[in-house]
Structure 1
Amino acid sequence: MVFRENTTAEKSGPTVLIVGAGTGGLMLGLLCEKGNIPYQIFEKSKALRPLGSAIALNKVNYLFEQVGIMEEVEAYSKSFGGLHLLDQDLNCQGSFYARAPGVSQKEAYGYASPVMARPDLIRILASRIPKEKLHYNKRVIASHQDDTQVTITCEDDTTYSGTILVGTDGAYSSIRQHMFKELEAVGLMHTSDAEPMQSDYDCVVGVTGAMDTEKYPVLKEELCEFKIVMGKTLPMTWWFMPVIDPELGPRVGWMITKDNNAWNKMNKGNSSSKDDNKTQGSSSDWSANAAKEMCDLVKDMPCPLGGVVGDIFDKTPKEQITKVVLEDKLYHNWYHGRTVLLGDACHKMLPFGGMGASMAIMSAVALANILYEDLPTTQAEVTKAFKEYYDERVGWGQQSVDGSRKTAYLMHKQGFVGDMIRRIGFNYIPNWLLKKGTDAYNEYRPHIVFLPFTTFTGTYQSGRTNTPSKRWLASQNQTTAAVAL
């Protein structure tokens, strides 16, 4: 039996079909919920599987305040304090501080970036979505669009129709694949978009259970200080990021990365790692392939938190240890017809710059703002809205993809050149120059235009944000007048 939901623009604006329940999809759903925009979310997994490690959330605190989740985010996070690069013997090679003696984020911009386990953020966002609007076990196998609506078909033979389709389903987005086929058919496919993503690294991630602070006293510290160990005998890095759970207590998000190009050279050109990448990359972002082999390479190394690295693995639930291929690419085609892409589906970046989740959140805000204000229903209106969204976000996408690749090079390049770059980057760049860069990053902080704005605090006041929605202001004025009567 086929179930068909005719969700058209006749309700109260565009009906948004969101495919993918990751950070971007759930944030977009929450914004639609707040803005009274009809929407449905479709997730291919049978249940929420929030995998990953710790994530740093840059420049989004005020957005969390607007949607009312900041208090819970703070309960599950530590403020980012700094990043310390260590050699294999745990000698510190340099530090970057987001606090004194470096550039204090909180003092300068009124906030410090929260660092939390990705599973916790996913759970918080999902808890704000009504159950009847979040559909699991809905793998999309086809989509069709015309001048009036877009329809998706799921693997279980159900179909859903709406006004707009948003692909937030990750790096191997099925929505992007369907959209690209349509673009190819009409000769509008960008040449570079047909090329595969660039893949140079393997990665294993996880988050531990509760940790003993007597054995790991560093976890008692208020701030989250990243500890990154760069291998000397292996072209690998291993990362440790303290996080918090108000019930379980201190935990550790961790990540192991392997530079496949350097690994292949070290093993005289053995390309098995590259072959593995292609196999994994064709299936899923969060492949369930065994991670034990990579973990075994570093399990006996000293851990900067105490003990050996293997102790951290032992404290991590096995079902949350995941191997993933790290790839990056900025796509040029972000939209076509009534379909638009968001997050990793249109700009996949490496995790080393700490921008993936924040970029998805900011893009969800940009798209929701446009959909709320303009209420596009005709094909011409939808195209105009999508172009506005693309123009606003593509520059940030390019900057983040490029930045993550440069950071990957900084963290993995071995030999004299790599050592010199890191020595200069971590020890000799003055704070005034660092602040100039962070000022530029915080110069424009757009709000959600249909919710009360927050007030920016901090010594740096750029004065640049967007303006509240005219439609929303009118509704507020009408409410005020009605109360007065």
Structure 2
Amino acid sequence: MDKIIIVGAGLGGLLLAFLLEKASLDYLILERMTTSTMPLEGGGVIPITSQIQPLLQQLGLLDALKQLAKPVSHISVYEANQEQKGKILCNKLGAIDKTVSFSRYGYYTLVISRPELYNHLVGQLPKEKLLFGKQVENIVINSTRDSKATCVCTDGSSYQGIIIGADGAYSNVRLSLYRQLKECGRLPAQDHKPLQYQYRSLVGMTQPLDPDRFPVVKAEYSEIQVLVSKGSRPFSCWCVPMTRNRLCWLLDEELPGPIDCPEVEDWSDMKETIQMTCEKFRALQSPLENTLMGELFDLTPEGTMLSLPREEGFHFTWTHGKIALMGDACHKALVCGGQPFVQAGYDAVNLANLFYAYSRLVDQNASDTTASGALTATSSCPLEDLAVRLRSYESDRRSDALKAVQGSHVFGKIMSRQGWTGTMLRYIFLNYVPQFLVNSIIGDRLNSDRAQACFLPSVTMTNLD
């Protein structure tokens, strides 16, 4: 079978690499970053939910990640009115009990910093399988269906094989593929639309904090605190206690209307945007008692904050020939629901199972050909076209991935919507929707089919009945 070229060493691409390594399939990762590690300061938080942990356990990764992560107990939601005279008080609307994840599904939700998760995964893969400083600028679609696809990098190098675009929301693989499909009239109308965002996020990770001043960081379990702040400068903010007495915070500011994302990620105004956002919200109350947003800003190492558009969207064309997209390259969900890592992992295991089965078929076909005395494997009965199998990956995953994007959008709206309607939605959701109903309608559905690799010993999971 052809070599599998994974474009992008994001979390989904790395999980696919782990699976291919376990399946003894030939692969190579092309990553545009020039270094193999991310600085530990900054980078935001990744929720690892019960949906993805059986796969991580199957790969032998979960125990080590638990040492780097913190289990979540609750998500507590507050509101505050900036126009209130005197000391601003945060009114608690309610809380989501996350410990049910362990009692019902066998795993706590974990929170881990993105750099620590990334560095750990990269460190476990063979160094020769990762090429850094490889910015892919173009994909060449070959004319014959059974020929390899080619990706061309900005340094002039090129790589042939089965191309997997795991290069994020601003995927160059997707852009190149869609441009060529559009030129020949084969790109569906719904894929002509760009991703959009209506919120801009400021993200930071504090230095280790004094647990006497910030007792929330010393608890064994992470109680996530969410504040929806109303007034002339409305915003919502998440504070997530992490390991080593650190706090990850995320401030969301709603924009006047939806904005189309550019084709190429633009970081040119990052520094100016961060400075303006910090000045705008510095004097306002944070989710933590007796703590202003400015104090969180000051406790965050200089130069580590990120200002990011909160993109979301869905692409309907995932494959063409021997090219396939995965993760944020084809479905971009909001991080708050923990779905981006989960859905990228599901894409990875679906693709790995597909490649493993196909490689077995290739090997069997070659063996049968040799036994029959034929000169070449190509003279035997033709194999099922790999492109057909990749299209089956697309059809198998598309519905669930779309539901994840839609569900994350709804959850994000509930947790950040301003105005009276937003308050009522949050209050009803947190206080009047029975927990068992949330579990049976949402939790059980999400955990009903926790994908695993078919070529590894299966992990026994908690029975939802």
Could you state the TM-score of these two structures normalised by the residue count of structure 2? 0.87
2: CA distance between counterparts of 1:350 and 1:343? 12
Q: Deviations over 1:85-144 (max 9, x none)?
A: 111232211211112xxxx11111111111111111111111122111111111111121
> Where do residues 329-340 of structure 1 align in structure 2 (5 Å cutoff)?
329-340=313-324
1:334 is displaced (CA, Å) by 0.4
Give the corresponding residue for 2:311.
Answer: 327
1:49 is displaced (CA, Å) by 4.0
Q: What SS class does the counterpart of residue 56 from structure 1 fall into?
A: strand
2:17 paired with 1:17: no
Give the corresponding residue for 1:355.
Answer: 339
Give the corresponding residue for 1:222.
Answer: 220
Q: What SS class does the counterpart of residue 246 from structure 2 fall into?
A: strand
Q: What SS class does the counterpart of residue 87 from structure 1 fall into?
A: strand
Q: Deviations over 1:422-481 (max 9, x none)?
A: 110111111221121212221112211111111113xx435xxxxxxxxxxxxxxxxxxx
1: CA distance between counterparts of 2:238 and 2:391? 38
Give the corresponding residue for 2:264.
Answer: 283
In structure 2, relative to structure 1, the CA distance for the partners of 1:131 and 1:287 (3 Å cut) is farther
In structure 1, give the amino acid aligned to 2:153: C
- Alpha-carbon contact 2:216-2:223 (below 8 Å) kept: no
Give the corresponding residue for 1:344.
Answer: 328
Could you state the TM-score of these two structures normalised by the residue count of structure 1? 0.83
Give the corresponding residue for 1:122.
Answer: 118
2: CA distance between counterparts of 1:205 and 1:327? 14
2:71 paired with 1:79: yes
In structure 2, give the amino acid aligned to 1:150: A
Q: What SS class does the counterpart of residue 75 from structure 1 fall into?
A: helix
2:43 paired with 1:52: yes
2: CA distance between counterparts of 1:242 and 1:185? 49
1:358 is displaced (CA, Å) by 1.5
Out of 448, 452, 457, the residue aligned to residue 457 of structure 2 is 452
2: CA distance between counterparts of 1:292 and 1:357? 30
In structure 2, give the amino acid aligned to 1:299: R
- Alpha-carbon contact 1:18-1:39 (below 8 Å) kept: yes
In structure 2, give the amino acid aligned to 1:80: V
Give the corresponding residue for 1:212.
Answer: 210
1: CA distance between counterparts of 2:212 and 2:390? 53
- Alpha-carbon contact 2:165-2:173 (below 8 Å) kept: yes
2:26 paired with 1:38: yes
Give the corresponding residue for 2:147.
Answer: 148
2:294 paired with 1:294: no
1:21 is displaced (CA, Å) by 1.0
1: CA distance between counterparts of 2:46 and 2:90? 23
In structure 2, give the amino acid aligned to 1:369: N
> Where do residues 433-452 of structure 1 align in structure 2 (5 Å cutoff)?
433-437=437-441, 438-452=443-457
1:364 is displaced (CA, Å) by 0.8
In structure 2, give the amino acid aligned to 1:461: L
In structure 2, relative to structure 1, the CA distance for the partners of 1:362 and 1:209 (3 Å cut) is farther
2: CA distance between counterparts of 1:361 and 1:105? 19
How many residue pairs align between the two structures? Answer: 425
2:41 paired with 1:62: no
Question: Which moved further from structure 2: 416-425 or 181-190?
Answer: 181-190
- Alpha-carbon contact 1:20-1:42 (below 8 Å) kept: yes
1: CA distance between counterparts of 2:456 and 2:209? 39
- Alpha-carbon contact 1:203-1:326 (below 8 Å) kept: yes
1:359 is displaced (CA, Å) by 1.2
1:186 is displaced (CA, Å) by 2.9
2: CA distance between counterparts of 1:440 and 1:343? 20
1:380 is displaced (CA, Å) by 5.2
1: CA distance between counterparts of 2:124 and 2:98? 31
In structure 1, give the amino acid aligned to 2:455: F
Q: Deviations over 1:169-205 (max 9, x none)?
A: 1111100011112212332101011112122111111
1: CA distance between counterparts of 2:189 and 2:173? 18
In structure 2, relative to structure 1, the CA distance for the partners of 1:252 and 1:419 (3 Å cut) is same
2:417 paired with 1:405: no
2:127 paired with 1:131: yes
In structure 2, give the amino acid aligned to 1:254: W
- Alpha-carbon contact 1:287-1:322 (below 8 Å) kept: no
In structure 2, relative to structure 1, the CA distance for the partners of 1:380 and 1:179 (3 Å cut) is farther
- Alpha-carbon contact 2:228-2:418 (below 8 Å) kept: no
Give the corresponding residue for 2:178.
Answer: 180
Give the corresponding residue for 1:482.
Answer: none
In structure 2, relative to structure 1, the CA distance for the partners of 1:419 and 1:442 (3 Å cut) is same
Q: Deviations over 1:324-376 (max 9, x none)?
A: 11121111100111110001110012223221111111211111111111228
Q: What SS class does the counterpart of residue 385 from structure 2 fall into?
A: helix
- Alpha-carbon contact 1:338-1:379 (below 8 Å) kept: no
1:311 is displaced (CA, Å) by 2.2
Q: What SS class does the counterpart of residue 164 from structure 2 fall into?
A: strand
Give the corresponding residue for 2:367.
Answer: none
What are structure 1's unaligned runs of at least 5 residues?
A: 1-12, 265-273, 463-485
Q: What SS class does the counterpart of residue 312 from structure 2 fall into?
A: strand
- Alpha-carbon contact 2:175-2:263 (below 8 Å) kept: no
2: CA distance between counterparts of 1:33 and 1:119? 22
Q: What SS class does the counterpart of residue 424 from structure 1 fall into?
A: helix
Q: Deviations over 1:269-300 (max 9, x none)?
A: xxxxx7xx66x744328777121211222222
In structure 2, give the amino acid aligned to 1:436: S
Give the corresponding residue for 2:368.
Answer: none
Question: Which moved further from structure 2: 406-415 or 200-209?
Answer: 406-415
1: CA distance between counterparts of 2:383 and 2:318? 16
Q: What SS class does the counterpart of residue 207 from structure 2 fall into?
A: coil
1: CA distance between counterparts of 2:202 and 2:73? 24
> Where do residues 375-394 of structure 1 align in structure 2 (5 Å cutoff)?
375=359, 381-394=385-398
**Alignment RMSD (CA, Å):** 2.0
Q: What SS class does the counterpart of residue 456 from structure 1 fall into?
A: coil
In structure 2, relative to structure 1, the CA distance for the partners of 1:114 and 1:14 (3 Å cut) is farther
1:319 is displaced (CA, Å) by 3.3
1: CA distance between counterparts of 2:178 and 2:409? 25
Q: What SS class does the counterpart of residue 450 from structure 1 fall into?
A: coil
In structure 2, give the amino acid aligned to 1:97: D
